[in-house]
Amino acid sequence: MFFTGNKFKNKFSVYLYIAFLMLFSFTNFGYCEEDYLIPMGNIIQIDAELNQVIVRNQVKNSPFLVGDRLISINKIKIENYRDFSDVFYNLDNNSYVQVEIIRGDNKLELKTSKSNLEKLNLNNSVSGFATLTYIDPKTNNFGAVGHPIGIGCCKMLPIKNGYIFTTNETTIKKSTKGNVGFLNAKRIHSVGKFKDNNTFGIKGNIVTMDTQNLKKYKIASLNEVKLGKAQLVLQNKNSEIEKYDIEILQIDKQLSPESKTFKIKITDEKLLNMTGGIVQGMSGAPIIQDDKIIGAISHAIENNPQTGYAVFIKWML
């Protein structure tokens, strides 16, 4: 049977409208893929080669500060410690030396002596411990630390080549009021590399780590985060990944990326007995709430290390 005239047009319009609704629903729900991350919590050792030679010690009556980056000596470019050694041993003992440095965001020229340079502890590498925050199951990219890697006046070290390693045999110096503790561990395997050191930590690519059987968590929006109970994911002394209870005390509804999004408090007695609160090396530990990843530890509060701050997870991506 064929439809003709207005009857046909009306029927056709109805079918077209239904088809449109089905297509719209299928597009928006059937093909809408949620964003997921794998929260990790592994204690990692970070080793990095820097783009410049950096001052690591403070010397009395010296014009140099910890974190100063050497650019040149007497107009000769310094790119690594070997360059520095070659120039240094050809300097006149009695003449002034002109040194170009970067201090913070500023380029400066300093006049000093060979003896002053000799007292400096200089290198172009950095090493330390932090926590692996997440791995993106789609790209194998990772994020860690939750704040920039810096030394002294250099708050964000320029990385030439960086590597992360898994660890075991963790030892912990507990935090006490007015004194943030730290952790140490034995380096095992290289699992990733990076060059990106930014306001919210380091980002790079996982090279050798099997994550196929690890649980993926949805990424929370900032509006979904709420005050109250949450969990911190962290490697324990037995090298097992464990969840610990914390409390979200305060939420800053940031309109643009900033580091201190949440104020948190560790409430888990097991973790408090192990660490005394937040210790150096826990930066980057992922935080879970309502089965979603919401952020990572970024700072401890020195006079009360049971409390600290966390950064919103999307700022780390």
Q: How far apart are CA 297 and CA 12, in angstroms?
A: 58
- pLDDT of 20: 43
Asked whether 177 and 305 are in contact (CB, 8 A), the reply is yes
Tokens 């109805």 found at: 14
CA distance 295 to 316: 8
- Shared domain check, 147 and 92: no
Q: How many domains, the chain?
A: 3
Which of 91, 120, 149 terminates a domain? The answer is 120
Residue 17 lies in a domain: no
> CA-to-CA distance for 169 and 124, rounded, in angstroms?
28
Same domain? For 111 and 133 the reply is no
Task: State which of 97, 120, 143 marks the end of a domain.
Answer: 120
One domain for residues 231 and 289: yes
Range of the domain at 91: 57-120
- 35 occurs within a structural domain: no
1 lies in some domain: no
Residues 227 and 311 in one domain: yes
For residues 200 and 228, state if they share a domain.
Answer: no
Query: Tokens for 46?
Result: 């970070």
Which residues, including other chains, have CB under 8 Å from residue 206's CB and lie 6 or more apart? 135, 140, 141, 142, 191, 192
What local confidence, expressed as pLDDT, does residue 292 receive?
98
Q: Is the domain of 164 the same as that of 238?
A: no
In a shared domain, residues 235 and 144: no
Residue 31, token pair as written in the block: 């093909």
**Contacts of 278 by beta carbon, 8 Å cutoff, 6+ apart:** 175, 180, 266, 297, 300, 301, 305, 306, 307, 308
Q: What is the structure's pLDDT at 282?
A: 97
The answer to the question of residue 22 being in a domain is: no
Dihedral angle, C-alpha 286, 159, 150, 196, nearest 10 °: -30
Of 104, 120, 136, the domain-final residue: 120
User: Measured over all CA atoms, what is the biggest interatomic distance in the chain, rounded to whole angstroms?
Assistant: 108
Residues annotated catalytic, as ranges: 147, 268, 283
In a domain, 11, yes or no: no
The pTM assigned to this predicted structure is 0.87
Q: Does residue 66 lie within any of the structural domains?
A: yes
* Same domain for 137 and 77: no
- Answer whether residue 4 is part of any domain: no
> Would residue 286 count as lying in a domain?
yes
Rg (the chain; Cα; Å): 26
Q: What CATH number is attached to the domain comprising 249?
A: 2.40.10.10
Which CATH number do you get for residue 96? 2.30.42.10
148 and 199 together in one domain: yes
116 lies in the same domain as 152: no
pLDDT of residue 34: 62
Do 115 and 130 belong together in one domain? no
Pairing of strands 262-266, 159-173: unpaired
Are 131 and 198 found together in one domain? yes
The CA distance from 211 to 214, in Å, is: 5
Q: Kindly give the parts of the chain with pLDDT less than 50.
A: 1-9, 11-12, 14-33
